[in-house]
Structure 1
Amino acid sequence: MKKHDQDFMKRQNRLTVFEIIKHQQPISRASIAKQTGMSPTTVSRIVAELAEEGYLLESEQVSAGLGRKSTLLEMVDAAVLSVGVELDRHQVNIGIVDLQGNVIAMSQYPRSVEESPEVTLERVGTEIDQLTKSNEIDCERIIGVGVGLPGIIDNDTGEVMFSVQLGWRNVRLAERLKEITGYDVAVDNELKAKALAEHMKGAAIGSQRTVLLGFGNGVGSAFIMEGEIYRGRTNSAGEIGHTTIDPNGMLCDCGKAGCLQTYINIKSLLSEANKIRPVRSIEELFEAKKAGERWALHLIERALMYMAITINNVVCMYNPDSVILSGELTDKFPEILDEVVDLCYSKYVWEPLRGAFRILKSELHEQGVVIGSGLISQNCFFALE
């Protein structure tokens, strides 16, 4: 085997052992060897390296059962920290995340839609610095920054190829943010990051095949299969918001007509509402619905119908065991969840698949992308070390 291949296998084995300890702690070396098929010698070597670097400790507990007792291994959660960043159209969320995905400090601030990438990234660098100082975080423990944002991302290079919501194209985000902060930077689509977080810490714990749907400023999806993000060839799997519903329909920000998200996303709903009367926010639109204004009721009911159709489409494509609804619409107006579920089972989900999956609400809300981005940064760090 070539040295390159050997080095790759060593990194993969190290990451595998690290992930098993992280999610199954406390656990013995023998159990890790049994699960992975690695030799006890290989497992002991990796464990010794991780312990020497301060990531593990040996628990005073011993494994139960007959035979020789085994010392159990646990993570030192505070040994490694990462920064998770969510870049949205109108807001930026930043958090410090530990090994278990716990957010130990967080800040958020508004972002102007017209803000350039350079201004946004300079501000992110400043906010990270202020967040660590105000919370007395030891920066030596921070191993990197993870960033989640809407759009097509080259997650290998950290370049934003195209983001409709932010209006960015060919932005070398990881490279520039590393220059600003000094940290290694991992970049990914925000729904992929959020789906990973929900799988690890939220609504999809224990799920084998999870689809997360985001309904808010845009419409998108992410698919987690047996703990891994399904990316497709160019990391654009899940861009369901730009599937065509009506080629003669409304013009989307992406330049095409009749994209799915033009029937659901907040910008399109407000644009349609303002043809009737001035409506400044999505809250105003829902208030008009509650007041019994028929045009508002029609707009929202149409959006819920297309949400149910979206659920049917992803269920038919991926056959998941769980579908998680997330985004600004479901976070701000949780009452629509029951309406969408009713539409799914009464009209839109293909009958053979009814009862084959759960429809769940996101549990992590505004922390989801921050947690997922922080965990992706940690995964990159431990895979490369």
Structure 2
Amino acid sequence: MKHDQDFIKRQNRLTVFEMIKNHNPISRAMIAKQTGMSPTTVGRIVGELTEQGYILESEQVSEGLGRKSTLLGMVDASVITIGVELDRHEISVGVVDLQGNLVHSERHDRTVEETPAVTVQRIADVLNGMLNRNIVERKQIVGIGVGLPGIVNNDNGVVVFSVQLGWKNVQLGESLEKLTGLKVNVDNELKVKALAEQLKGSAIGSSRTALLGFGNGVGSALIVEGEIYRGEMNSAGEIGHTTVDPNGTLCECGKAGCLQSYITIPSLLQEANQIAPIQTVEELFAARDTGERWAIHLIDRALTYMAITVNNVVCMYNPDSVIFSGELADKFPDLYEEVKERCMSRFVWEPLQDSFRFVRSELNVAGVMIGSGLLAQTQFFKLD
């Protein structure tokens, strides 16, 4: 019974906090009305949050019959979290305020051969550098969120398996907590990015959002009524390793014919180098633009598989919004229109063509940092 009561108190606190954060300015009466909590419970929680410096009271407004209510808002700088994105070739670290604004960010190169221990130390060094330069105050930081490609046990911060990073069973959360002294939350990069897009980006107001990411890997994430759909192992959405051709190209995961073998930047460059010395994906697209038939074929095939992926996700999840994102989408904005045209003209099942919005990512390269920072904030207010 005590456990249940504590859980309810934490959830109520988080609910009130999220209401004020997402709908400010808002009155205590409106929070009580929309959440079903008693005015006494709302008043107690608001009092705690005000005393701790997270919210402030603003002007009074009339709410009928001559009564006036005080509106509540957030103190954006009262809580800061650090949002981190780990990718094959980059470490990105950002400072995220209570409204999900990225107030500072840095990007640092990393190599594929870099060990987990080195990467964790470098994240800690970047944070220390921010503190030394007075970019953020230590007392403001309530946690760190890390988003990365692969399967993550988000309950204990373990990277179960990441093909892109070459990691397996890495105790990332525990290691980073020891170095920084801060609470660390680790999750899949697309899951936190989808959360950020729904709260701050292209899917505001959506009740069922599917995000697709095409870049160094291929993946998806689903947000249902504001909650991340995780599956049994937090691996829901790993569409990059669905089989599209059992006799096809070998994937770096060890299977043959995985979807991502035909779309990702590394796989495209690997095939391109069988014909010409291509070092970057920009060179590959430049070859297509000059009329090189082999480059036209590779990119055309990738776009076809992207459109097929959209159809498959729409058929499986029936979302109201599908977000097109990832490094390829960021580097080549015209791909959005090319994929959209293929979806609607050739691949999306006709009864579902008008059932969803196909939109670009609005947060782009900042999405994972913002989503990771927001995840850390959510966990902080649940536990505090």
Amino acid at match of 1:263: Y
Using the alignment, how far apart are the partners of 1:107 and 1:288 within structure 2?
32
- SS where residue 70 of structure 1 aligns? strand
The residue number in structure 1 matching 2:98 is 99
Match of 2:164, SS state, is: coil
Amino acid of the residue matched to residue 128 of structure 1?
L
Q: Which residue of 2 aligns with 1:178?
A: 177
- Provide closer, same or farther for how the CA distance between residues 183 and 264 of structure 1 changes in structure 2, counting only shifts above 3 A: same
Partner of 1:206: 205
Question: 1:1-385 alignment to 2 at 5 Å?
Answer: 2-385=1-384
- The whole-number CA distance in structure 2 between the counterparts of 1:63 and 1:375 is 33
1:135 is displaced (CA, Å) by 4.0
Give the Cα–Cα distance (whole angstroms) in 2 for the partners of residues 131 and 250 of structure 1. Answer: 44
Q: What is the CA-CA distance between 1:206 and the residue it aligns to?
A: 1.1
The residue type equivalent to 1:36 in the other structure is T
RMSD: 0.9
Q: What amino acid does structure 2 have at the position aligned with 1:195? A: A
Structure 2 counterpart SS, 1:109:
strand
- Contact 1:25 1:75 (8 Å CA) reproduced: yes
Instruction: Give the distance between the partners of 1:105 and 1:134, measured in 2 at CA.
Output: 12
Deviation for aligned residue 1:63: 4.3
Give the Cα–Cα distance (whole angstroms) in 2 for the partners of residues 87 and 191 of structure 1. 12
Secondary structure of the corresponding residue to residue 235 of structure 1: coil
Q: Structure 2: which amino acid aligns with 1:334?
A: P
Deviation at 1:64, TM superposition (A): 4.6
Q: Normalization by structure 1: what TM-score?
A: 0.98
Identity of aligned residues (%): 66
Residues 60 and 68 of structure 2 are in contact (CA less than 8 Å); yes or no, is this contact kept in structure 1? no
Cα 1:100–1:220 change in 2 (3 A) is: same
Opposite residue 211 of structure 1, the aligned amino acid is A
Please list every run of at least 4 consecutive aligned residues from structure 1 whose deviation after the TM superposition is greater than 3 angstroms. Answer: 63-67
1:286 alignment partner AA: F
Letter in 2 for 1:74: G
- Alpha-carbon distance in 2 for matches of 1:87, 1:21: 31
CA distance in 1, matches of 2:247, 2:59: 67
Deviation at 1:103, TM superposition (A): 1.1
Displacement of 1:208 in angstroms is: 1.2
Deviations 1:264-285 (A, max 9, x none): 0011111111111111110110
- SS of 1:289's equivalent in the other structure is helix
Aligned residues: 384
Superposed CA deviations along residues 114-137 of structure 1, whole A, max 9, x for unmatched, are 000000000110001112332442
1:61 deviates by 3.5
Please state how far the C-alpha of 1:49 moved relative to its aligned partner. Answer: 0.6
Matches of 2:201 and 2:64, distance apart in 1: 32
Q: Aligned partners of 1:270 and 1:200: how far apart in 2?
A: 35
Distance 1:128 1:118 in 2: 16
TM-score w.r.t. structure 2 length? 0.99
Consecutive unaligned residues in structure 2, runs of 5 or more: none
Counterpart contact for 1:106–1:131, Cα < 8 Å = no
